[in-house]
Amino acid sequence: MTEGPLGIVSAMPQELAAVLALMPEERRVDLAGRSFWHGQLGGHEVVAVVSGIGKVAAATTATLLLQRFCATGLVFTGVAGGLGDGVRVGDTVVATAFLQHDMDASPLFARHEIPGYGFSRFSTHRSWQQGLSAAARRTAASLAATVGAEVVARFGLEATQVHEGLVISGDRFVSSEAESTALRQQLPDALAVEMEGAAVAQVCHDHGVPFAAVRCVSDRADQAAHVDFVRFVSEVTCHTSAHTVLDWLSHLDTPQA
């Protein structure tokens, strides 16, 4: 058991629903337009919350978790658009680092560099990242049991994989081939794109606490990104996210920042 709660964050209610279903004795605290659910999961004290979409909403939520709930570290879970070669719909990406792809304070600073920091990438907590990767692989191996064989067949999830690497964030839902191609050209090592993680990574860096993130790929960040998005989240992602987080927590020791 950790000394304080761990924060579990998702951007949308559908992404967090299965996690909350595993916390039957949770206590709800409403603060700053958000509902924080304080309870137990996988043998650990946790606070689960829907951050809202975008970097500002995510940063506000992360700060509240750390300052008002004294969270000892944060984990973000949910969906992302696939960018990297071989990253397919249904695959899982565990972040090793985050970058804001829409940060550009040039010519004062290099493109993507965070002013005042001297760098652009925020690394995730190494052992948490490794633990989440192992949990995600176990989830992938039992995917049919987790979401059902019919769902696996409908979404073509028979051979899902787990990837580890850079995830990029920006305040734009990337949904065209031109946008995703431009991002691949600018940041060829980026595996996935979403709208919150880099902001949470920066907040956790500032507070000196561990941060990790696991994202299920819902689309390829192109013009088909909106197709069956909500259905995919409710039928696949919310269950695989909850399964992975629960598995990770059950193997987690007290974190070392």
Candidates 184, 136, 134, 194; CA nearest to 160 is 136
Contact call for residues 256 and 208 (beta carbons, < 8 A): no
Question: Which residue in the block uniquely carries the two structure tokens 């606070």?
Answer: 47
Contact call for residues 224 and 232 (beta carbons, < 8 A): no
In DSSP terms, 89 is beta-bridged to none
Q: What is the DSSP letter of 4?
A: S
Here the tokens at position 62 are: 């992360």
What backbone phi and psi angles, to 5 degrees, belong to 99?
-145, 145
Residues carrying an active site annotation: 15, 219
Here the tokens at position 232 are: 């995919």
Tell me the helix, strand and coil percentages in the chain, rounded to 5: 35, 25, 35
Distance between CA atoms of 38 and 46, rounded to whole angstroms?
Answer: 6
